[in-house]
Amino acid sequence: MTSTTQPANDQGTGPRLRGNLGTLELFFSIMAYNAPLVVVVGIIPIMLVAGNGVGTPLVFIISGIILAAFADGFIRMSKALPRPGAFYSFITAGLGREVGLGSGFTMLVAYFCVASGTVAFGGIVLGALVTDTLHGPSAPWYVWGAVFWGLTAVLGYLRIDLSAKITTLLLFGELVVVAVYDTAVILHGGGPDDLSAAPFSPAHLFDGSFAIGILFAMGMFGGFEVAVLFRDEVRDPRRAIPRATFGVIAAAGVLYSVTSWLFIDSLGVGNAVASVLADPEGVMHASISEFAGRFTTDAANVLVNTSAFAVLLTAHNVASRYVFNLSADGILPRALSGVHQRHGSPHAASLAMSVATAVIFVPIVVLDVEPLAFYAAILGIASVATLAVFFAATSR
């Protein structure tokens, strides 16, 4: 029987997953969940008009500092509770079994929502790439979404090392495109105002809505906590987990802050917000094309697809491990805590997640729900769920 304060496996009993992840593989797997290219192309322009405008680069720095402080305590706790349950294990130990179970199921729902929403988003962007860019056959979004789903179902079943290698490769392509754009803006000396440091001035911090800006920015660091969830699949967890966690926070903070600064400079500090308002969907693509060339823009369009797939694969793997841990503790059916003899993966939990993801799309397709509306709604649920658990974890 499980304890009233701790999950059953805290002392190492029960089924254990196996893997051979190093620090870099763990780092890239987590960073891929943040979808850097999607953030740069789709989120940063939105932050300029819905958040704190020209002060956007500063909120990324502030968010990184806040989350690094939280991560310090989080990592210390993971050493005291060496079990791959993440928020579920930690909140159970601190606030009791009932709250811990609630947090575990809430995070499971959050990552399941991200995975489900990304299948829809992937269907949209892959369909656009095949039909509009490659001039291939036209098909409904759910056909292309099924391609994303099928690949994820197969990779999620296999050893985590393979997923890590694939997400590493995909993320590398994203980072190259962003780095090429950033370098091009610097080499061109910026836009109308040259390279201006004004976006880093505290005077711009409260342009527009600081509260919305900080919420957007903190959301772009999502998934940094999942390194702990892969503890049993990491070669040297006591070293790799802290390095990967702080590495993701630092890399995301620097990347988004620098790129948003250069994007603002490419438009001109005084014209940036107006330029985004005039063409919110195309302004970043136009900036990339102007400074880094058409080839880089085309590469970005292709890599948005691989970025979406990397998010889907990571979310699926994380959700599967929440199912595995809840099953290993007897909360969900024990059959879901099976460990594949060859791959060392939570194959039963992964299959259950794949089936659940497929099932949720049956009414979506039958009722002809608009996929972007579904994507936006289900990501909203994921955001609320994650914030609820975050506040629970920091309440004591």
**How do residues 320-329 score in pLDDT, each as one tens digit?**
988 998 888 8
Q: Which of 364, 350, 382 is nearest to 146 (CA)?
A: 364
**pLDDT > 50? residue 3:** no
pLDDT tens, residue by residue, 255-312? 999 999 999 999 999 899 999 999 887 899 899 999 999 999 889 988 989 999 999 9
**pLDDT > 70? residue 6:** no
Could you give the CA distance from residue 95 to residue 33 in angstroms, rounded to a whole number? Answer: 28
Q: Which amino acid appears at position 262 of this protein?
A: L
B/e letters for 343-378, b = 16+ CB within 10 Å, e = fewer, are: bbbbbbbbbbbbeebeebbeebeeeeeebeebbeeb
Query: pLDDT confidence of 395, banded at 50, 70, 90?
Result: low
pLDDT tens, residue by residue, 328-352? 888 889 899 888 888 888 899 999 9
Predicted local distance difference test score (pLDDT) of residue 16: 74
Phi, psi values for residue 196, rounded to 5°: -105, 140
Q: Which residues contact 328 (CB under 8 A, 6 or more apart)?
A: 8, 9, 14, 15, 334, 337
State whether residue 18 is helix, strand or coil: coil
Name the residue with tokens 């369909």. 127
Phi, psi values for residue 332, rounded to 5°: -100, 165
What mean pLDDT is predicted for residues 221-230? 80
pLDDT tens, residue by residue, 62-80? 999 999 988 888 788 777 7
C-alpha Rg value of the chain to the nearest Å: 21
Predicted local distance difference test score (pLDDT) of residue 273: 92
Question: How many residues make up the chain in this entry?
Answer: 396
**pLDDT > 90? residue 134:** no
What mean pLDDT is predicted for residues 99-124? 88
Fold of the domain spanning 23-393: Amino acid/polyamine transporter I (1.20.1740)
Give percent above pLDDT 90 in the chain: 41
The sign of the CA dihedral 249, 241, 163, 357 is: negative
**pLDDT > 60? residue 4:** no
Query: pLDDT confidence of 84, banded at 50, 70, 90?
Result: low
Predicted local distance difference test score (pLDDT) of residue 115: 93
Are 26 and 244 a contacting pair, CB within 8 Å? yes
Query: pTM (2 decimals)?
Result: 0.83
Name the residue with tokens 């994650």. 386
Give percent above pLDDT 70 in the chain: 91
What mean pLDDT is predicted for residues 5-13? 46
Burial class (CB in 10 A: 0-12, 13-18, 19+), 32: buried
Could you give the CA distance from residue 56 to residue 364 in angstroms, rounded to a whole number? Answer: 36
Could you give the CA distance from residue 215 to residue 267 in angstroms, rounded to a whole number? Answer: 24
**pLDDT > 50? residue 1:** no
Query: pLDDT confidence of 97, banded at 50, 70, 90?
Result: confident
Could you give the CA distance from residue 324 to residue 108 in angstroms, rounded to a whole number? Answer: 11
Q: What tokens were used for 340?
A: 């594949």
Give helix then strand counts, H and E, for the chain. Answer: 15, 0
pLDDT tens, residue by residue, 157-175? 988 888 888 988 989 999 9
Could you give the CA distance from residue 169 to residue 389 in angstroms, rounded to a whole number? Answer: 31
**pLDDT > 80? residue 130:** yes
